């Protein structure tokens, strides 16, 4: 984790706590918010998410042999899509129940770990591609920044980061209104803390602002869902 990210972590300057502590706290606090929901996740969001995943693949198509990490891999649907490219696949998620679905889906095809994005258990410069889809918006602000800094750390200098998440708009009539309404219902239904984090993510203007905060350069971007969803392909500043 870089010095800047550490400074963004409250309590860090005063010497108390740190990213690992925040990560552990979040795991304890949340007590797996996906527990009752993991089995249904793909049935509910699968079709919409699949379209986004394909767009992500168009922004960056991996080459055989590449090392690919999915941060907040959930049920493993994203990694499953990358199997056909003969990549070495890694996934990490803080929800035991989501990871259980991913393990039954992917078996030995991916190295899956239970853990927190702010303390990735991988060596520096290991990955050609780091993906995170619909995960950053639900993290607390300081965890989110720590997570992106960790993605940078484990990324090769020539590597790419692909982020897919909610986008602050402008929202286009009529498709965007419908997508936005569905998003708001889903985010509110996910619980108070989740919704608070989502709103904070939108208030800072989502992924483009986060990329700038974390000194990442945008190579390609795409806004879909009538302005409600966005994809960014990023690299480290040279
Ligand atoms: C909305 S789901 C998306 C899952 C998956 N990326 C997909 O595209 O289907 C968000 C996922 O992020 C995970 N997550 C949230 N905060 C995390 C953190 N700090 N570290 C690791 N995973 C996290 C959740 O457990 C959940 O599985």
Q: Tell me the domain boundaries of the chain.
A: 3-236
What is the Cα–Cα distance from 72 to 61, expressed in whole angstroms? 20
Token pair, residue 23, equals 């990560």
Task: Of 84, 78, 50, give the one whose Cα is nearest residue 66.
Answer: 84
Ligand 1 center to 218 CA (angstroms): 23
Max intra-chain CA distance, the chain: 50
**Cβ(93) to ligand 1 under 6 A?**
yes
| Contact of 230 with 164, CB cutoff 8 Å | yes
Task: Of 165, 164, 132, 161, give the one whose Cα is nearest residue 235.
Answer: 161
- For residues 122-127, give the mean pLDDT: 98
The pTM of the full predicted model, rounded to 2 decimals, is 0.88
- For residues 16-30, give the mean pLDDT: 46
- Identify the residue whose C-alpha is closest to ligand 1 atom 8: 133
Q: Per-residue pLDDT tens for 91-121?
A: 999 999 999 999 999 999 999 999 999 999 9
**Cβ(142) to ligand 1 under 6 A?**
no
Q: Per-residue pLDDT tens for 153-182?
A: 999 999 999 999 999 989 999 999 999 999
State which of 26, 29, 30, 72 you would mutate to test the pocket of ligand 1, scoring each by most atoms of that ligand within 8 A of its C-beta: 72
Helices (H), the chain: 3-8, 19-30, 38-59, 77-82, 96-106, 141-154, 175-189, 192-203, 206-213
What's the CATH number for 3-236? 3.40.50.150
């Amino acid at each position: 984790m870089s010095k800047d990210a550490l400074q963004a972590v409250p309590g860090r300057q005063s010497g108390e706590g740190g990213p690992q502590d925040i990560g552990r706290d979040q795991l304890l606090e949340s007590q797996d918010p996906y527990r009752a929901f993991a089995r249904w996740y793909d049935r509910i969001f699968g079709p919409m998410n699949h379209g986004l995943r394909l767009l992500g693949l168009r922004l960056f198509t991996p080459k055989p042999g590449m090392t690919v990490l999915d941060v907040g891999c959930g049920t493993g649907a994203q990694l499953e899509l990358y199997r056909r490219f003969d990549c070495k696949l890694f996934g990490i998620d803080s929800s035991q129940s989501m990871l259980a679905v991913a393990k039954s889906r992917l078996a030995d095809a991916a190295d899956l770990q239970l853990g927190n994005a702010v303390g990735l258990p991988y060596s520096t410069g290991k990955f050609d591609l780091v993906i995170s889809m619909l995960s950053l918006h639900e993290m607390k602000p300081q965890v989110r920044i720590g997570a992106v800094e960790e993605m940078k750390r484990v990324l090769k200098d020539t590597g790419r980061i692909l982020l897919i998440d909610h986008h602050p708009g402008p929202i286009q009539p009529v498709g965007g209104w419908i997508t936005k309404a569905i998003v708001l219902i889903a985010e509110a239904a996910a619980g108070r803390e989740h919704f608070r984090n989502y709103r904070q993510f939108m208030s800072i203007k989502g992924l483009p602002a986060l990329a700038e905060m974390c000194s990442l350069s945008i190579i390609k971007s795409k806004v879909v869902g009538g302005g409600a969803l966005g994809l960014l392909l990023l690299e480290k500043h040279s």
